[in-house]
Structure 1
Amino acid sequence: MTATLETTSQAPAPSTAPPAWTIEESENLYRIEGWGDPYFSINAAGHVTVSPQGDHGGSLDLYELVEGLRKRNIGLPLLLRFSDILADRINRINAAFARGIARYKYPNSYRGVYPIKCNQHRHIVEALVRYGKPYYFGLEAGSKPELMIALAMLEPAESPDMEANQSLLICNGYKDREYIETALLARRLGHRPIIVVEQVSEVTLAIEISQALGIKPILGVRAKLSTQGVGRWGISTGDRAKFGLTIPEMLAVVNQLKAVEMLDCLQLLHFHIGSQISSISVIKEAMTEASQIYVQLAKLGANMQYLDVGGGLGVDYDGSKTNFYASKNYNIQNYVNDVISAVQEACEAATVPCPTLISESGRAIASHQSVLIFDVLATNDIPQQLPEPQSEKEHLIIRNLWETWEMISAENYQEAYHDAVQFKEEAISLFNFGYLGLKERARAEQLYWACCSKILDICRQQAYVPDDLEDLELSMSSIYYVNMSVFQSAPDSWAIDQLFPIMPIHRLDEEPTQRGILADITCDSDGKIDRFIDLRDVKSVLELHPLRQLPPAANRDHPPVFEPYYLGMFLMGAYQEIMGNLHNLFGDINVVHIQMTPKGYQIEHLVKGDTIAEVLSYVQYDAEDLLENMRCYTEKALEDDRMSLEESQLLLENYERSLLHYTYLKN
């Protein structure tokens, strides 16, 4: 007989381990649902995914995509462009206008145009023309070079009878004779260019050229509205705005056209109240004023057909859905409904036919399709190790810092901070007068940072942080050195404090325990990013993960090597690429166009970034001349026995190879 031992089951002891970090916490932290919907999200692996077709297609794992590109020897930093997002943006704007027109029974149509200045790169313009063709989506040119692009990229109508259904070409910007002649002659090809008058003198020129060529122009006038914009571009409106005509100037244009029996050529009213309009109330006010100007021009006898509401449709960079300058408190449908209702109300009240509506929403179309990916090269962290116990032999100032560190608590942390600052300053003063040695100063600084670290941990638990401790988070933050140039790839971040969403594209199922700012690889103190999106205003540090060190190699004298850590800067498709500069001669980066396929994705286009030789040629250096100079210098060094033949060959090989390489660093 076998005896059995009965046991009493006991509940497991409660775990003391902190709860695991979840991807939902990363979603909330980086606000990806706010700014990324419907294109960006986080998958179960903790990687950022992109859904280029929005709600209507599959998704790609950004981390796996970047790893695949690196295996193809496409180095970082790189810009990913998703042309399917461009198609989706055009579809959404046109669908919103279709819904608005149906809702209000608006008796005319919508024709969108893309302002080329937003991003002039060929593959983007080609894609927009292709995706916009079903909607008769046109282009807007703000300069003579952009006019050259538009005329060659838009397909003209095959016959004059089809011209009415042709995509529009809006001709903005300052114009000379050649500009106006080219635009007018394009009508013979089947294009439908509308020359928008920015200055009264342009009307005189347009009349003269029209009469000489025997081609009637389609003219528009750009109005300087009194409605004041908001945000960085609020000064785009008003009497002293850079572009457009005042009301007296518009009347002068009308009279001038009437005098030569060409008033029927005036068919469009255009206005622009600035880029990135964050408040819907400003749009409503502008639409009310512009609609009244439109109907009054029609009453004066102008053959009004079009109302161009310009750009301004905002992008929610911080995901807060507020009227903060990096956000917007409306969606596309709200915007469209306010445009349509204001125009319809004014026209019906004045018994004027409702116009074809035009918008120039460049930022809202192009921003989402580009993602900048860059890697972290190294970090500079505040020392976090616990200080060694004090010795009675140590200097009084060091003993004071030690006692301060020991006594820090939630009850006295604010007072302790000021004590630590005072003792540190005294230690530096004593060092400067020779009363402390280098080791003692190092010990004092270690204790000071230990005090700050302990105080910061307490601050993070408080509902309110005292004003004198607000900067402590930034002072204690790490510096993450990233393989990019702010001046080349994110110039608005540096020049006008534009906020872009930035976050790791992997490890999002881990808690980001570091707080850091980003420093680029240019030799410029402005080459950094220390302003990041937040639900409330702006935060000065970004939550990041510590770098993971790879196992040491056989030769332990080598510096530590870390796993790749990739960050993404999102909503980068508008203005950044074309406005980048060559600070420190960091050139254009690699650009990869990705298109979705039934089996995943394909690389539609690869635009290789600049090599060092190419960048040097931009500043009038010839790579062959430089190489020849180096050869001569090495020959002289050989002759003087200052270097060996092997050393000279290694130097020349490295020099020549570097000229052919990417301007950025290898990691």
Structure 2
Amino acid sequence: MALQTDKPVETTQTLYNPLSSPQTPWRIEDSEALYRIQGWGDPYFSINAAGHVLVSPQGERGGSLDLYELVQELRQRNLNLPLLIRFSDILADRIERLNACFARAIARYNYPGEYRGVYPVKCNQHRHLVESVVKFGKPYQFGLEAGSKPELMIALATLEPALHQNLTSKATLLICNGYKDRDYIETALLSTRLGHTPVIVIEQLSELAIALELSQTLDIAPILGVRAKLSAKGAGHWGESTGDRAKFGLTIPEILQVVTQLKSAGMLDCLQLLHFHIGSQIASISTIKDAIREASQIYVELVKLGANMQYLDVGGGLAVDYDGSKTNFYASKNYNMQNYANDIVAEVQEACEERQVAAPTLVSESGRAIASHQGVLIFDILGASYPALQYPEITSSKENLVIRNLRDTYATITPENYQEAYHDAVQFKEEAISLFNFGYLSLQERAIAEQLYWVCCEKILHITRQQDYVSDDLADLEKNMTAIYYANLSIFQSAPDAWALDQLFPIMPIHRLTEEPTERAILADLTCDSDGKINKFIDLRDIKDSLELHPLQLGPHHTRAPYYLGMFLVGAYQEIMGNLHNLFGDTNVVHIKMTPQGYQVESIVKGDTISEVLHYTQYKPDDLIETVRRRTEQALQEQRITLEEAQRLLSNYEQTLTHYTYLSGAC
């Protein structure tokens, strides 16, 4: 694809958009519809009269911030992009909403039990976020879930123990999931002496033997749970992680073995929790209902077998509507948080009433639904590449026949013959390349042929956008004509799920939303990797292959004016699962808290410097500096470099090691 990297800013493509027409000026409502912000962003994100994204961290109950102005002010604090902004108030609001939904469901169905949520630490283990979850969750006895020994260490040091809790009703739970060795189980048991309420969930039968042995040695009665492999399966990206072949959990025969062993040891009263998990991001409420129905029956059967059951842990899976479509598409969900709580409460109550079993305390491990909304990644666009759309002038009266044919094709394209014209343009372009390869066409002539091909495609594309149906042979034309916008970020570091799982995240400009976005583009990141791009975007009816963006503009002194994009709903999993591809490190992170006067910066976590990421890969910056110094001395001796150049190189090398791993601004 022939590309030009410096498209004149005054030259713009007029692209057909179903939301606008040449006679109708672009409105904020058009931007709202185009980027679907009301679908995925309500009640936290909207667009204000200035055409900037507006953030309302407390939903409809609090103040709001102009996101573009906030970014400008943060940059004045020497916080370079990319920048991850965490809104603490959104986190608090999500926890409050989840607890309120369960409270309403419990009241609606006269459910005699309670709700105790836990936050799965694996969702985002960063200290400021976990500490905020514990702080905001304290009024609701909101606990933590650990899935590994490191996460258990975090939970024990972060959760506030209570020595005089009523352990059967008001406990702030510490759910201990994951594979466990002796150290894990022993630490969890001993934490009860501090006032914690650890529930050791048996994932494998071998863990039960260790737990029983240690409980005897330490004289500590454990609270045990079992994780069941349900026959009900999830769907979407994580559907294969559930069902009979799930990685974690016990089959029904294995659960019965746990009951038998506990009964033989005289410790069946220690079995108090049933846990299951049918996957992350469950898009369909019917899947959740099927799982709850099956788990409820297992729960009441365990009670009938004599277990001292107190808790039913429904795991995670509460989805986030990334595309705003409110469907069972994998990037959406066809239910809301209240529907989720209602169905859980109703199904469990029905099963318990039928079997005359006391209703359990309900536990959920909703990480994605709590943490996603609070994280917004802001990045700038460094430049762009566009198809070569300038019509080449005639410079010779004896142009090659293939070039004359392309000119004739361009001149005669009409709505009646555009499909035939497209095939002619493709044929003539291929002929031009063949002639060039055999030496019959110069490099300049080949460039003219390619330019003519692309302007033919542009003209045909305008016609296809007016058609109700486009044939298969023209289906890729839109994709081939998109621009490439170069983004100052690493997909692998900040949005790994977009690369690994084709996860869709809402992406949109955070300013200029009173202007029509006349370019269609994909995003390429800074890494030297062909996968370092985003070419799938949310849409109402399908996935878009390109994103509508604004032409880049010139600022003062002929530099590019900043153009900021936001990637939203990235607060779950993305930070912690990011990798150091090309040694692009952690981004700058800032925590924002609303105040009566506006906002305050609660904390700033500086992103990795080049020196820090080199340490991760066992390079010592001091050794690197010394190596370069010796080589400059050798070059000085051999008169290949001047003393001034050597000093400049060394100074530049040392200073660069202290810099952010990302680029400093527009190119």
Correspondences of 1:163-174 after superposition (within 5 Å): 164-174=169-179
Q: Distance in 1 between matches of 2:537 and 2:544?
A: 5
Q: Does 1:28 align with 2:26?
A: no
Paired residue secondary structure (1:533): coil
Partner of 2:460: 455
1:388 CA displacement: 2.7
Partner of 1:319: 324
Partner of 1:180: 185
Q: Does 1:200 align with 2:200?
A: no
Partner of 1:8: none
Q: Distance in 1 between matches of 2:395 and 2:145?
A: 71
Q: Distance in 2 between matches of 1:564 and 1:407?
A: 40
1:161 CA displacement: 5.3
Alignment equivalent of 1:354, drawn from 359, 368, 393: 359
How much is the aligned-residue C-alpha RMSD, in angstroms? Answer: 1.2
**Does the C-alpha gap of structure 1 residues 164 and 339 become closer, same or farther in structure 2, counting only changes over 3 Å?**
closer
Q: Distance in 1 between matches of 2:492 and 2:513?
A: 28
Q: Distance in 2 between matches of 1:226 and 1:283?
A: 12
Q: Distance in 2 between matches of 1:20 and 1:68?
A: 31
**Does the C-alpha gap of structure 1 residues 347 and 432 become closer, same or farther in structure 2, counting only changes over 3 Å?**
same
Partner of 1:661: 659
Correspondences of 1:35-54 after superposition (within 5 Å): 35-54=40-59
Q: Distance in 2 between matches of 1:446 and 1:150?
A: 61
Aligned-pair identity (%): 72
Residues 390 and 402 of structure 1 are in contact (CA less than 8 Å); yes or no, is this contact kept in structure 2?
A: no
Q: Does 1:259 align with 2:264?
A: yes
Partner of 1:642: 640
Alignment equivalent of 2:238, drawn from 233, 237, 241: 233
Partner of 1:591: 589
1:412 CA displacement: 1.3
* Larger Rg computed on CA atoms: 1
Alignment equivalent of 2:147, drawn from 142, 149, 166: 142
Q: Distance in 1 between matches of 2:241 and 2:619?
A: 40
Correspondences of 1:433-444 after superposition (within 5 Å): 433-444=438-449
Q: In structure 2, list runs of 5 or more residues that go unmatched.
A: 1-20
Residues 173 and 198 of structure 1 are in contact (CA less than 8 Å); yes or no, is this contact kept in structure 2?
A: yes
1:546 CA displacement: 0.7
Partner of 2:13: none
Q: Distance in 2 between matches of 1:650 and 1:120?
A: 42
1:447 CA displacement: 0.5
**Counterpart of 1:644 in structure 2: which amino acid?**
T
**Does the C-alpha gap of structure 1 residues 341 and 441 become closer, same or farther in structure 2, counting only changes over 3 Å?**
same
Q: Distance in 2 between matches of 1:90 and 1:244?
A: 27
Correspondences of 1:462-477 after superposition (within 5 Å): 462-477=467-482
Paired residue secondary structure (2:201): strand
Paired residue secondary structure (2:372): helix
Paired residue secondary structure (1:539): coil
Partner of 1:9: none
TM-score by length of 1: 0.95
Q: What's the CA shift string for 1:14-48, capped at 9, x where partnerless? A: xx973221110000000000000000000011000
Q: What's the CA shift string for 1:515-541, capped at 9, x where partnerless? A: 000000111111000000011121110
Correspondences of 1:494-573 after superposition (within 5 Å): 494-551=499-556, 553=557, 560-573=558-571
Residues 21 and 511 of structure 1 are in contact (CA less than 8 Å); yes or no, is this contact kept in structure 2?
A: yes
1:162 CA displacement: 6.7
Alignment equivalent of 1:85, drawn from 56, 80, 90: 90
Q: In structure 1, list runs of 5 or more residues that go unmatched.
A: 1-15, 554-559
Alignment equivalent of 2:618, drawn from 600, 617, 620: 620
Partner of 2:16: none
Q: Distance in 2 between matches of 1:164 and 1:297?
A: 20
Partner of 2:80: 75
**Counterpart of 2:491 in structure 1: which amino acid?**
V
Partner of 1:18: 23
Q: What's the CA shift string for 1:437-495, capped at 9, x where partnerless? A: 11110110010000000011111111222222121111011000010000111100001
Q: Does 1:403 align with 2:408?
A: yes
Residues 390 and 399 of structure 1 are in contact (CA less than 8 Å); yes or no, is this contact kept in structure 2?
A: no
**Counterpart of 1:219 in structure 2: which amino acid?**
L
Residues 163 and 190 of structure 1 are in contact (CA less than 8 Å); yes or no, is this contact kept in structure 2?
A: no
Q: Distance in 2 between matches of 1:260 and 1:373?
A: 57
Residues 387 and 450 of structure 1 are in contact (CA less than 8 Å); yes or no, is this contact kept in structure 2?
A: no
Alignment equivalent of 1:103, drawn from 103, 108, 111: 108
Worse-superposed segment, 391-400 or 156-165? 156-165
**Counterpart of 1:575 in structure 2: which amino acid?**
Y
**Does the C-alpha gap of structure 1 residues 624 and 404 become closer, same or farther in structure 2, counting only changes over 3 Å?**
same
Partner of 1:604: 602
Alignment equivalent of 1:157, drawn from 162, 165, 170: 162
Q: Does 1:118 align with 2:123?
A: yes
**Does the C-alpha gap of structure 1 residues 17 and 265 become closer, same or farther in structure 2, counting only changes over 3 Å?**
closer
Partner of 2:295: 290
Q: Distance in 1 between matches of 2:587 and 2:495?
A: 12
**Counterpart of 2:507 in structure 1: which amino acid?**
I
Alignment equivalent of 2:631, drawn from 622, 630, 633: 633
1:163 CA displacement: 7.5
Partner of 1:574: 572
Residues 224 and 273 of structure 2 are in contact (CA less than 8 Å); yes or no, is this contact kept in structure 1?
A: yes
1:211 CA displacement: 0.8
**Does the C-alpha gap of structure 1 residues 338 and 390 become closer, same or farther in structure 2, counting only changes over 3 Å?**
farther
**Counterpart of 1:583 in structure 2: which amino acid?**
H
1:224 CA displacement: 0.3
**Counterpart of 1:648 in structure 2: which amino acid?**
A
Residues 168 and 310 of structure 2 are in contact (CA less than 8 Å); yes or no, is this contact kept in structure 1?
A: no
Q: Does 1:246 align with 2:244?
A: no
Q: What's the CA shift string for 1:251-279, capped at 9, x where partnerless? A: 00000000011101001000000000000
**Counterpart of 1:245 in structure 2: which amino acid?**
L
1:200 CA displacement: 0.9
Say which structure, 1 or 2, has more relative contact order (CA 8 Å, 6+ apart): 2
Q: What's the CA shift string for 1:187-229, capped at 9, x where partnerless? A: 1111111000001111111111111111100000000000111
Q: Distance in 2 between matches of 1:531 and 1:576?
A: 17
1:550 CA displacement: 2.6
Residues 163 and 192 of structure 1 are in contact (CA less than 8 Å); yes or no, is this contact kept in structure 2?
A: no
**Does the C-alpha gap of structure 1 residues 457 and 331 become closer, same or farther in structure 2, counting only changes over 3 Å?**
same
Residues 157 and 163 of structure 1 are in contact (CA less than 8 Å); yes or no, is this contact kept in structure 2?
A: no
Residues 77 and 373 of structure 1 are in contact (CA less than 8 Å); yes or no, is this contact kept in structure 2?
A: yes
Paired residue secondary structure (1:440): helix
Residues 385 and 450 of structure 1 are in contact (CA less than 8 Å); yes or no, is this contact kept in structure 2?
A: yes
TM-score by length of 2: 0.95
**Does the C-alpha gap of structure 1 residues 252 and 58 become closer, same or farther in structure 2, counting only changes over 3 Å?**
same
Q: Does 1:209 align with 2:214?
A: yes
Alignment equivalent of 2:496, drawn from 491, 507, 511: 491
1:387 CA displacement: 3.6
Q: Does 1:309 align with 2:314?
A: yes
1:367 CA displacement: 0.1
1:166 CA displacement: 2.7
1:549 CA displacement: 1.5
**Does the C-alpha gap of structure 1 residues 409 and 391 become closer, same or farther in structure 2, counting only changes over 3 Å?**
farther
**Counterpart of 1:309 in structure 2: which amino acid?**
V
Paired residue secondary structure (1:368): coil
1:389 CA displacement: 5.1
Worse-superposed segment, 624-633 or 499-508? 624-633
